[in-house]
Structure 1
Amino acid sequence: MSVKIRLQRHGKKGKPFYWVVAADARSKRDGKYLEKIGTYNPNTNPATVDLNLDAAVQWLHNGAQPTDTARAILSYKGALLKHHLDGGVRKGALTQEQADAKLTAWIEAKAGKVDAKKDGLTKAQSDAKAKAFKAETAANEKRIAAQTEAAKAPEAVVEEEVAAEAETPAAEENTEETEA
């Protein structure tokens, strides 16, 4: 029986969510599996991967072949590196402590890179929000200024009419005095 480590699709239409499973190569994509190893959610940025590292490495030791996407996920989480280091320990090239130290250092470096990306995305998102807020504030100020000018314009017209009416009777009086 040939065993594959592959993705099993879950989630709704347009919002995929995957389980990483070890399954018989002859079973259907979403069918029977031997063991659930983890989950993969590509909808988040960066993608969320939750993987049982020891179970994945055990299946790799037993000869399970990952699919291309599953291989990328296993590599991302360090399962392939641990499998490789365990092979070195079996051959006597290094001790278990050295292998564990290398794996821990790699995982910490990877976590630092992921955190840096998350911080960069958060900073970009907050900068975009601040820029949008400034633009909205400027638009609101323009709108308020236009409304106040529009409100002043009828008042000015009324004031001009009042002033014109005030001048008109005085002019009529002047005309009457000239005629007399």
Structure 2
Amino acid sequence: MSVKIRLQRHGKKGKPFYWIVAADARAKRDGKYLEKIGTYDPNSNPAIIDLDVDVAVTWLQNGAQPTDTAKAILSYKGAMLKNHLVGGVRKGALTQEQADAKFAAWIEEKATKVSDKEAGLSKAQSEAKAAAFAAEKAVNEARIEAAKPVVEEVAEVVEEVEAAPETIDEAQEKASE
């Protein structure tokens, strides 16, 4: 039986959500699977990936072949690196402690990159909000400046009306005389 590590689509139309599964290669895309390895949510930035790295490495060691997208996700989360390091330990190229140290250093470096990206995104978002606010403020000020002559004319008319002490009835009587 040929085993693939692939994505199984869930979620609704336009809002995909994926399970990362180990499944028989002959099974349908969203059909029966052998084991759920993790989840992948591409709707957020950066995408949220929850992966059990040890289970993924076990499947890779047993001969499971990841699809292109699944391989990219496994590589992003370090499962492919850990698989490579486990192979090196098995061949005697390095010790288990060295492999664990290399993997821990890689994980720490990856976490820094992700946090830097999140900080950059939040900074860019706040700068965009500030620029939009400044543009809106400029438009409002221009609108107020354009409306000043009209406001002054209305104020003059109001003053004239207030200066005339007569009521409508008195004005009609004067007009009829």
Q: In 2 relative to 1, CA 107–158 (structure 1 residues): closer, same or farther, beyond 3 Å? A: closer
Q: Give, in whole Å, the separation in 2 of the partners of 1:69 and 1:158.
A: 72
For residue 67 of structure 1, what is the aligned residue in structure 2? 67
User: Is residue 92 of structure 2 the alignment partner of residue 92 of structure 1?
Assistant: yes
Letter of the structure 2 residue corresponding to residue 131 of structure 1: A
Q: Distance in 2 between matches of 1:16 and 1:154?
A: 57
Alignment gaps of 5+ in structure 2: 161-177
Report the Cα distance in structure 2 between the residues aligned to 1:21 and 1:154, rounded to whole angstroms.
72
**Comparing 1-10 and 113-122, the one that deviates more:** 113-122
Match of 1:109 in 2: 109
Q: Output the CA distance in 1 between the equivalents of 2:138 and 2:8.
A: 50
TM-score by length of 2: 0.85
Give the direction of change, closer, same or farther, for the CA distance of 1:150–1:102 in structure 2 (3 Å limit): same
User: C-alpha separation between the residues in 2 aligned to 1:92 and 1:158?
Assistant: 96
**Structure 2: how far apart are the matches of 1:44 and 1:53?**
21
Answer yes or no: is 1:24 the counterpart of 2:18: no
Distance 2:158 2:51 in 1: 76
* Superposed CA RMSD: 1.6
Please give the alpha-carbon distance, in whole angstroms, between the structure 2 residues aligned to 1:75 and 1:146: 59
Matched length: 160
Instruction: Tell me the SS of whatever aligns to 2:39.
Output: strand
Deviations 1:19-51 (A, max 9, x none): 000001111000000100001111111111110
1:19-168 pair list within 5 angstroms: 19-156=19-156
Distance in 1 between residues matched to 2:16 and 2:52, nearest whole Å: 20
Instruction: For 1:40 and 1:19, locate their aligned partners in 2 and report how far apart those are by CA, in whole Å.
Output: 6
Instruction: Give the whole-Å Cα distance in 2 for the aligned partners of 1:151 and 1:130.
Output: 30
Structure 1, unpaired ranges of 5+: 161-180
Q: Hey, what's the Cα distance between the residues in 2 that align with 1:62 and 1:33?
A: 16
Q: TM-score, with normalisation over the residues of structure 1? A: 0.84
What SS does the aligned partner of 2:50 have? strand
Among all aligned residue pairs of Structure 1 and Structure 2, give the percentage whose two residues are the same amino acid: 74
Q: Which is higher, the Rg of structure 1 or of structure 2? A: 1
SS, match of residue 93 in structure 2: coil
